[in-house]
Amino acid sequence: MNNKFRTGIGFDVHSFAENRKLILGGVEIPFEKGLAGHSDADVLLHAISDAILGALALGDIGMHFPDTDMKYKDADSSVLLTEIYKLVRQKKYSIGNLDAVIMLQRPKISPYSAAMKKKISSLLGTNADNISIKATTTERLGFTGREEGVAAMVTVLLSKDDE
């Protein structure tokens, strides 16, 4: 890998579930439902993980942390992203910037976006100014508009470290 820059795209979706915490971007958000999944179902951190793995041409999160492996049952996605970021460092890359959009009707994300940026930037060893988090309601269209779940899409730019 001798490219100065590498880009990746990540996407994830989870349905809402009763009796689960809603974790987005590593931040617990008060809401009547959480997201269904093998891990904590943090769609934002999963999409970030896939974007990074894609930029490095290393597959996807399911290849690295399969949902058939019980050691990842209810796993904290922050821990999984930390492991993925180790691969970035091993390849001598750093986060250039990350742009994310979360698709959901409710709850409102803006009160939590600063905390998400802080959490994600700490996990990825970068300045919070390099992280963008946006949300859209999808105008009540589709499964997110019907409040059946949450989706997230992320793009990431990795920069080769000066050697």
Residue type, 83: E
Rounded to whole angstroms, how far apart are CA atoms 161 and 41? Answer: 32
Domains of the chain from N-terminus onward: 5-160 (3.30.1330.50)
pLDDT band for 47, please (50, 70, 90 cuts). very high
Radius of gyration of the chain (CA): 15
Residue 133 near residue 109 (C-beta atoms within 8 A): yes
Instruction: Give the per-residue pLDDT at 2.
Output: 66
Residue 154 near residue 124 (C-beta atoms within 8 A): no
Rounded to whole angstroms, how far apart are CA atoms 151 and 55? Answer: 20
Contacts of 104 (CB under 8 A, 6+ apart): 135, 137, 138, 144, 147, 149, 150, 151
> For 57, how many CA atoms within 13 A lie in the half-sphere containing its CB?
6
The average confidence (pLDDT) of the chain is 94
Instruction: Give the per-residue pLDDT at 126.
Output: 97
Contacts of 79 (CB under 8 A, 6+ apart): none
pLDDT band for 163, please (50, 70, 90 cuts). low
